[in-house]
Each structure stands twice: as C-alpha cells, then as structure tokens.
Amino acid sequence: MSTSVGFLSTIAPSACPLHDRRSGAAPCRRVIRPRVSCHSNGNAPQPPPSSLLMDRRDVLFALGGLTGGAAAAGKLALAAPVMPPDLTKCHDANSAGLGDHLKCCPPYTSAEITDYTFPDTPLRVRRAAQEVIKDSEYMEKYTTAVRLMKGKPPDHPWNFYQQALIHCAYCNEAYDQVGFLNPSVPIQVHFSWLFLPWHRYYLHFYERILGKLIDDDTFTLPFWNFDSDDGMTMPEIFTADTSSPLYNENRDTSHYSPAILDYKYSYGNTAGSGETGDALVLSNLCTMKKTFKQSLPLADLFMGDPLRAGQEADGSNGPGQLESIHNAVHMWVGTPESPHIDMGDFSTAGKDCIFFSLHANVDRLWHIYRNLRGNKLEFNDPDWLDSTFIFYDENEQVVRVKVRDCLNPNNLRYTYEEVPIPWMNKLNCVKTTETKEKTKAELSLVRVGAFGSEPRELSKTALRVMVSRPKKSRKKAEKEDKVEVLQIKDIAVDTDGPARFDVYIAAPYGDLAGPDYGDFAGTFVRLPHKGKGKKRKGALKLGITSLLEDLDAEDAEKLVVTLVPRIGEFTIGGVAIKLLQTDNPRLV
Ligand code: C2O
C-alpha cells in the first residue's frame, strides 16, 4: 500500500453515543462518517430548475455556440449536462438477448414532475446481508415489503416489476436525450460518470418505497459485502429459501454458497482467476485494494469518464474500474446460458432482489472512496453536477433529481454500518514471479512489437505490445502532479454478447518480453448490450503509477502490455501511456 494513504486511519471511528444505547429504539450501530474537508462540495447551490425545462437545442442555440457537427461529434463547447428524459417520448427498449421490442416505459409518462427535496426522516443505516440474516425481525420486514411490492397492481409504479423496468428504460435505450433526436442519442447511465449517481438514486427511491409499504421510515436495503472475506459468497437471504419473495429462479445456482465469487469471472471455460478457496478470496481482496490504490489520484479511473449531453459512450470514454468489477458480479449471478437473465442482462437485472444489494455495496464502495479522498468532490464540473434524472418516489410523486444532490448520503438520510474492510489491511498479494535476478538466458524471451497505427484484433490469443512511457524515473513530486495512465482506445466488441479482457503490464528486457505477463492492471468487462445494432465502442483507462512501484519498473522506458481475452471478440484501436493531471495529489 502506498505509504501516504492511511487507509486504516481514514474511516473515522464512530463509537455509539450513550443516549442511543439507552433509548432502546433504533439499535446502535457503528456507521461510516464522512470526513469533512475544505474541498467538499456535496451541497453546492443548485441553478434554477427552469433551465431544465427548455429543449437542449433551444438552450444551446440561444447561446449561439453549437453546430450540428459539434453535437454529432459529442464535442460540446458549452456546459452540457445530460438532461432528464422526456417521458412522453419513451419508446421500446432493446436488449442483445431479448430483442428490440422491450416494453420498459414507466406508467407515469404524463404526470407532473416536481423537483426533488431532501427527505426529513431518521438516518437509515444499511447493514451487511450476512448480518441481517441473523435478525429475524428485519428479515420479516424485508420479505414482507418485497411481497407487498410484488402484490401491487401491475401498472402501479411501485410494483416490483415496474421498479425493475426503470433500470431497463435507462439502460436499454428507451429514452433519447432531449434535444438530440435526429440522429437520436440514447440516455445511457452505464459506462460513464453517470453510473454511480444514477444507481444511488435508483436504490434511494426503491428503499424508501419498500419502507413505505411496511410503514417503516428506518427500513434499509442490505448490502452484499462482496469486498470482505465473509461476504464473498452469494448472500443466503436470496438463495436459501426458494419460496421467499427474495428468491429468483434465473441464476447460476452452481454459484450458490459455498461457491466463492470471482471478480475475474466470465462465462465459459476461460472463466475466472484460476484460483479457489482462500487464494481466490485473497485474489479478490488484492484486486479491490489495487482498484482503490490506482484510482485515488483521479476520479475518472474509479467513477468513469465524463459523458455530456449529446454524447454517446464511444471509443474515447469508458467506465471506471468499480463498474467493471460490478459487471463481473452481474455475470457471476445471472444464468450461464444466453440470454443470461436476470442479473446478466441490464434489461432484466432489476427483477432479482440481489441486484439492489450488489448495488448497495457498489454505492458503499463509492462512499468509502470519497471518504478516502477527504470527501473531495469527484468532478467539479457542472455537466456532472447538473446531470438530471427522473424517478417515482415514496410519496407517489414524479421527481427530478440532480447528481449534485446525491453526493452526500447523509442528505438522502442513509448511511452504512461500519464493517471491517479487509482489503485495507496489509495483504500478501501475489506479484509477478519474474525477477530481475534471472539472467536473460534463463528466460525464454520473446520479441514484442509496438501496437502500430492500425486497429488490432483480440480474440483467442493474448495481444502483447511494447508501449513507450512518456517519462521514466519520475520523482515523487511529479507523480503527485500527474498520474500515469494506460489508455486503451476504440475497443469495439464484435458481438452483442458478454465480453471481457484483462490487462497486465510488465517491464521488458531491453526490447524483449519475458514469458510472464506481469501484474494485473485492470479489466474491460461488458454485459451483453445491443445499442441499436451498432458496434458499441468503449475505452479503458487504468492508473499504473502505483503498479510500477510494485513492479519495481519506474526506471523502464517501455512497458510490455498484455491484453488477455476471456470472452468475446474485440477490435482494439490503440494502446498508449499518458500522464494525466491528478485531481488529488495528496493521495498519490
Ligand atoms: Cu445498472 Cu448493476 O447495473
């Protein structure tokens, strides 16, 4: 672990106040308390909501700054947050496995829309799924709430399946961006900086509706604590009782406990990290630790790249590494055969209660990330802060929510129970076995060329390329200023199916590469996704500053980058190493 990141000391200890213990009301729990910093900006004032009601084109043309070409290229000169959908224009959604005519539109397309206001309710404390199973009173409440949700009339917005359709609509292109209709640009809340905030709101309303159904304003969703040793199996609250309303039939039952989750899972024979048992748990913990360590200096690496109005996920932007790990968990739960329902396909994922616990933990990991960065605002950019979505709330109102209002969970009146975070401990992570002690003669070295200027195929065999670093032997101050980032661009997936490749880096021996791929740097994972029949492109950005320290490769001029295909066929547009300005120098 980087010495300057005091992982263990960063989450403030929170003893239970005495009066809580005496009251006998809500049970006393240790919660994650945000650290306050002068950079925190979770509650910045909002611009007037009226601007949201204008057609995007009107706004942009009124300001005189947008040409059609610029819009099409997604390069907008003006502030351009993604606008809320026009619900009245909702249309059929599509999915790679389930076809082009999915009915995912909400039943409230003509309702009046109001601006979201913060709730005035007790602070809800989300607890780990492996803990709540021991609390029969809680389990009774949770199952009752879900049963009531399933029993709502099919066209009621609170109905369980209507709630699942919200995810389908925002993820499977039922909405087009207002002002970008010809050619249409769909609203997509994955693959970018919208991922974490949108899902935070989705869970927020879902949780409050469940609470409303059982008349309990302290009700919380449990989080699937998959970043801890005792949380790395599928939570039994969702698997043990096939007659429970929390049960779902469409899963890979071979992954039920005691099977251990593998962050490197992909379908088929090439699946996974190749580890089992304790070694697999350790491998996952090391991946989580690495994900945090590599992405603390720059929020894009953890949260995903910017995505602005009129822009689609394309070959130059992509998801953060937290989203990639989360994709693998989706795959691991969903059915192993295509169409991989329910969890393995965005259009159906919300039909499995486990979805909300997976996402509660993803949300909690964001909360921890933010805490580790001293509560620093991830993107001080109005295009992120003013990105806006629409939900149906626990008061049966249709509300408009902005990213800026969800950044401090306390304002949404929930937090997480503090549980041990084992990946913050010192771990004995397996490093590359190749060492400098070996002489060249002992290794079978291979010649590895540069990527070249043409796109390259990646399907059955690993693609190894030699990549120059912009600068070697960087000093501490330089590292604090700029983070070294491996960029893989124009990643096109040749099928609509699931896709995954892993990225490794190693130091070369002169111009030659050793047989060992080196250290795992990160991954590209995609659930099946259709996207109007187009080839969906993406990009991958991985922070490697700390990895080079681990590899003892800071003095290397070039690196051997190895892309290991796991499932799917790709075309790769380019591989480069860049130095990007850090947004959090203190934490390099
Ligand atoms: Cu919107 Cu876990 O996905």
Give distance in angstroms: CA of 324 to centre of ligand 1: 10
Give distance in angstroms: CA of 388 to centre of ligand 1: 18
pLDDT of the residue at 13 = 34
* Ligand 1 proximal residues by C-beta, below 6 Å: 167, 171, 190, 199, 326, 330, 346, 349, 359
Mean pLDDT of 420-439: 77
**101 assigned to active site:** no
Peptide bond before residue 339 is cis, with ω within 30 degrees of 0: yes
Range of weakest confidence among 373-382, 426-435, 442-451:
426-435
Mean pLDDT of 326-341: 95
- Point out the ligand 1 atom lying closest to the alpha carbon of residue 198: 1
Q: Which residues are within 8 A (CB) of 38 and not within 5 positions of it... i.e. 6 or more apart?
A: none
The two tokens of residue 331 are 């795959």
Q: What are the start-end ranges of the H helices in 296-372?
A: 299-303, 321-333, 354-372
Global confidence as pTM: 0.89
Peptide bond before residue 519 is cis, with ω within 30 degrees of 0: no
| Catalytically annotated residue among 255, 326, 340, 529 | 326
The two tokens of residue 187 are 């609203």
Mean pLDDT of 320-332: 97
Whether 48 shows a pLDDT value over 70: the answer reads: no
pLDDT of the residue at 218 = 98
| Catalytically annotated residue among 7, 160, 167, 226 | 167
71-94 pLDDT, tens per residue? Answer: 333 444 467 999 999 999 999 999
| Catalytically annotated residue among 191, 223, 238, 330 | 330
Whether 142 shows a pLDDT value over 80: the answer reads: yes
- Point out the ligand 1 atom lying closest to the alpha carbon of residue 170: 1
Mean pLDDT of 543-564: 95
**330 assigned to active site:** yes
Percent of the chain scored above 90 by pLDDT? 75
**529 assigned to active site:** no
Residue 241: pLDDT band (50, 70, 90) is very high
Pick the residue whose CA is nearest to atom 3 on ligand 1: 346
Q: Which residue has the higher pLDDT, 102 or 25?
A: 102
DSSP state of 350: G
Q: Which residues face 506 on adjacent strands?
A: 560
Give distance in angstroms: CA of 267 to centre of ligand 1: 18
What span, in angstroms and rounded, lies between the C-alpha atoms of 116 and 96? 34
152-174 pLDDT, tens per residue? Answer: 999 999 999 999 999 999 999 99
C-alpha closest to that of 383 among 306, 303, 287: 306
Give distance in angstroms: CA of 346 to centre of ligand 1: 6
| Catalytically annotated residue among 340, 359, 367, 529 | 359
Whether 4 shows a pLDDT value over 60: the answer reads: no
**340 assigned to active site:** no
* CA trace torsion 398, 402, 403, 404 (10° rounding): -140
**91 assigned to active site:** no
**19 assigned to active site:** no
Q: Which residues face 330 on adjacent strands?
A: none
pLDDT of the residue at 430 = 78
CB contact at 8 A, 489 and 539 = yes
The domains found in the chain, sorted by start residue, are: 5-424 (1.10.1280.10), 434-587 (2.60.120.380)
Whether 203 shows a pLDDT value over 80: the answer reads: yes
Peptide bond before residue 409 is cis, with ω within 30 degrees of 0: no
Give distance in angstroms: CA of 561 to centre of ligand 1: 29
Mean pLDDT of 492-514: 90
pLDDT, averaged across the chain: 86
